[in-house]
Chain A
Amino acid sequence: MPRYHENTYGIVAIALHWTIALLFLGQIVFGFSMEQVKSLALQFELIQWHKSFGFLILILAFLRLLWRLAAGRPQPPATLSRVERVAAETVQWTLLIATLAVPLAGWALASTSTLGIPSFAFNLVVVPHLPLTPSDEAEAFWRETHKLLAYGAGMLAIGHAAAALAHHFVLRDDVLVRMLPGRAARPATHRVTLETNDDV
């Protein structure tokens, strides 16, 4: 039952998509960079910022999941083949889950670390550790999981972005435009609706 009758994701989903996309990709670059830092003092501070932004992403991703479940999404453009739709849908769900799973794995890493460093998000809120037993093995496991999920999701996101850009610049359809604020901001009556099977 599609709740969207316009050919746009709507301003909420669009705001969440681009905020999370920016933070998520930034967080991967940040995570990679902080590992290269030589000064342990600076690295400590950077990891705390990394954790803070990670929690922020986790909250936003959770809101997005709720929004997605509540509001659904616009019908895929009619120009897409069945394979394309399934592929896009699969990648998007994987990315959505990754934006939850990566910070959760990071949280598990911080929670199982034998260093027991508290999480003090943005120096404002103490985020309790997950109820996991700290040990060197658990910490190593979650570090590796966090890292693999993060870089894996990063690669998938690049593919996802490339596909979106290809749709826009090569195939010249409106896949990307549906995710841009311009259309969502226009009054509903003036919105271009290319969908013919809107009520399916």
Chain B
Amino acid sequence: MSDHVPTPASAGKLAGWVLAASLLLPSAPASADALSEAAGNYRIDSSSKINFKVDQVGGGGIKGSFGSYSGSFRIDGSNVSKSKVTITLFPKSVKANQARMEDFLRSDAVFDVANHPEITFRSTSVTRTGDDGARIDGVLTARGKSRKAQFEATVGKRNGKAISFRVTGSIYRSPYGMDVGTPIYSNVVQFDMTLNGTRK
């Protein structure tokens, strides 16, 4: 949306832009509303990125990602708050900077992938926070425990067939029985995801 807005250097240019905008009126309001315009059903495709980070005392921390996941979302054009998203992560696919760290994360110390091969998130409500942003409330299930969780989503690149969201959120890991290593490692897992949706 913002790429439609030039920065006018002069009043003349501004007037020209207003004129141009008014001529384009049928599409201009829609482009100010990326979410409603992108209404539809999408599959989260494998070009997405699911990164996370856990801070540690004294600076730095553990950075990791999940290579394997599946999910979909529906953007409701008439009422964005009725939009839905579900995503399943397969923690076996966790990547970290170190093979031993990955084994540790897969073990029953953290994800316990043998008994709990999936981590799921299901939205319960979506609240618009701006032209291209929304807050997603939902339930995150990991290690057999379900807790409320919240993420912020911002529309990134999009075209007729695809839309990309940057989704961030901080999750406390102790309620899931994953509090190993606290307080050396923070209780908070910071997610930073790029979810690329392809229209179904």
Interface residues, chain A, with chain B CB atoms under 8 Å away:
39-41, 44-45, 48, 114-118, 120, 123, 126, 128
* Stretch from B15-23, B41-49, B56-64 contacting the other chain: B56-64
Residue pair B57, A118 in contact (C-beta under 8 Å): yes
Contacts of A120 in B (CB 8 A): 57-58, 183-184
**B157 on interface, CB distance cutoff 8 Å:** no
18 residue pairs bridging A and B, Cβ less than 8 Å apart: A40-B104, A40-B107, A40-B108, A41-B107, A41-B180, A44-B109, A44-B180, A44-B181, A114-B98, A115-B101, A117-B184, A118-B56, A118-B58, A118-B184, A120-B58, A120-B183, A123-B184, A126-B57
Contact of B98 among A41, A48, A115, A118 (CB under 8 A): A115
Chain B residues numbered 9-32 whose CB sits less than 8 Å from any CB in chain A: none
Q: Chain A nearest CB: distance from B53 CB in Å?
A: 14
Nearest-neighbor residue (CB-CB) of A45 within chain B: B180
The secondary-structure label for the interface of chain B is: loop
What are the 7 closest A-B residue pairs judged by CB atoms, nearest first? A41-B109, A40-B109, A41-B180, A126-B58, A40-B107, A120-B184, A118-B58
Bin chain B's interface residue count. 10 to 19
Contacts of B100 in A (CB 8 A): 114-115
Q: Chain A nearest CB: distance from B59 CB in Å?
A: 9
Contact bitstring B171-189, A, C-beta under 8 A = 1, else 0: 0000000001101100000
Nearest-neighbor residue (CB-CB) of A123 within chain B: B183
Q: Chain B nearest CB: distance from A143 CB in Å?
A: 13
Nearest-neighbor residue (CB-CB) of A127 within chain B: B58
Nearest-neighbor residue (CB-CB) of B182 within chain A: A123
Known: A120-B183, A120-B184. 8 other contacts (CB 8 A): A39-B108, A41-B107, A44-B180, A44-B181, A114-B100, A115-B98, A120-B58, A123-B183
Contact bitstring B182-199, A, C-beta under 8 A = 1, else 0: 011000000000000000
Contacts of B110 in A (CB 8 A): 41
Contacts of B107 in A (CB 8 A): 40-41
Contacts of B104 in A (CB 8 A): 40, 44
Contact bitstring B88-122, A, C-beta under 8 A = 1, else 0: 00000000001011001001111000000000000
Q: How far is the CA of A117 from the CA of B181 in the complex (A)?
A: 10
Nearest-neighbor residue (CB-CB) of B184 within chain A: A120
Chain B residues numbered 142-185 whose CB sits less than 8 Å from any CB in chain A: 180-181, 183-184
